Amino acid sequence: MSLNTHPMNFLCVVVAAGEGLRAGSGEPKAWRMLAGRPVVRWSVEALLAAGAREVAVVVAKDRLPAAQDALLGLTGWTAVAGGAMRALSVQAGLAALSGSEDTPVLIHDAARPFVTGAHVAALLTALEGADGAVPALPVPDTLKRGRDRVVSETVSREGLWRAQTPQAFRLGRLRAAYGAWGAQAEPTDDAQVVEAAGGRIALAAGDPMLMKLTYPEDFAMAEQLAGGRRVVRTGFGVDAHRFGAGEEVWLGGVRIPHNQGLIGHSDADAGLHALTDALLGAIAEGDIGQHFPPSDPKWKGASSDRFLTHAVGLAEAKGGQVISADLTLVCERPKIGPHRDAMRARIAELLGLPIGRVSVKATTTEGMGFTGREEGLMAQAVVCVETPL
């Protein structure tokens, strides 16, 4: 079978039925949170994203409701009650899947959260012409056999591999192999069951990222790796204020002497308002009017740096970090050029950025429209925020 003709036709069993308490915290490792998502969700999401047609998630019977919560919003999976041993859980998962004898099926430990589409593709390729395929890594350390904390023998590591999951098989072949395995001792993995039935298992490239979370220190490392998965989100903001009587305007956090003022409930700094809305947009936290209602007397005459600082705090609370800002001021007057660098410096300070990440631009509308007639001015801003995925 060629991957090119059936790119998406594979099934998965994700085994999350073990109690696996060695990782500490009292919560089985598949259900612990990793960068804001349960570990089991990382695995199921990744396999669905890789194109799995159906994922059977095998959990302890009393965790069926927890599985619904952990996998909320995902489609293409079914929760299945597991058995007393891993081998029974895998078989329960297999029984819940529908496919032809030849359909590839991947068996995956939920506690290996960093599986990717590339891993899946490599396994499906390796499965062609074999009865099974496992991701495997060579053993870099010297191996010792020991007893009572004393070395009894140095073991050659030649030809030894560490098998990981997911492991790929054909649905019919794996079901038959488990049928033949019967009530023997628990196999250490699924490939062993197919080997015992005379199957040929291909070694595919393993990956340190397929590590199994077992001990507390594994979770600390995984948090760091998961924290590394970040995205840049972009937000856009627009604001306008009307000119009125006055002797100064506040723009971009800077006071500029002028023959008019800007009318607004706060200090009417359209530049900082547009930046605040752009930042709120990047983190999908509504708009400035929701956070600082003009109807609330508390904000009368308020300095707009408070609004921007508040939005920065919201972004940081989500694990976000502002990475750049670009503000365009649209007006005939006052002239922005002489104040541009002072604005960049103030905005950089408010956003916690080096000045090189902050841009302030200006344009007129050549006498056209409300800005051209100097009835008011407008500001537009784009802010980029790096956040956890």
Which spans of this chain sit near Mg ion (rule: CB under 5 A)?
239, 273
Contacts of 374 (CB under 8 A, 6+ apart): 243, 260, 331, 332, 333
**Alpha-carbon gap, residue 346 to 350, rounded angstroms:** 6
Residue with Cβ nearer Mg ion (119 or 273): 273
Residue 238 and residue 379 in contact, taking contact as beta carbons nearer than 8 Å: yes
Q: Closest distance between Mg ion and the C-beta of residue 239, in Å?
A: 4
Shortest reach from residue 379's CB to Mg ion, in Å: 8
Give the C-alpha separation, 328 to 252, whole Å.
10
| Nearest approach, Cβ of residue 264 and Mg ion (Å) | 6
* DSSP reduced 3-state for 222: helix
Tell me whether residue 65 or residue 289 sits nearer to Mg ion (CB atom).
289
Measure the CA–CA gap between 246 and 355, rounded to whole angstroms: 30
Residue nearest to Mg ion (CB): 273
Q: How many C-beta atoms lie closer than 10 Å to residue 86's C-beta?
A: 20
Q: Which is nearer to Mg ion, 45 or 239 (CB)?
A: 239
Whole-number Å distance between alpha carbons of 166 and 126: 12
Q: To the nearest 5 percent, what fractions of the chain are helix, strand and coil?
A: 35, 30, 35
Nearer Cβ to Mg ion (190/239): 239
In the complex, the smallest distance separating the C-beta of residue 274 from Mg ion, rounded to whole angstroms, is 8
* CA-wise closest residue to 161 among 201, 109, 209: 201
Between 54 and 239, name the residue whose CB sits nearer to Mg ion: 239
CB of 306 vs Mg ion, minimal distance in Å: 13
Tell me the closest approach of the beta carbon of residue 330 to Mg ion, in angstroms. Answer: 14
- Nearer to Mg ion by Cβ, of 187 and 271: the residue is 271
Query: How far is the C-alpha of 295 from the C-alpha of 289, rounded, in Å?
Result: 9
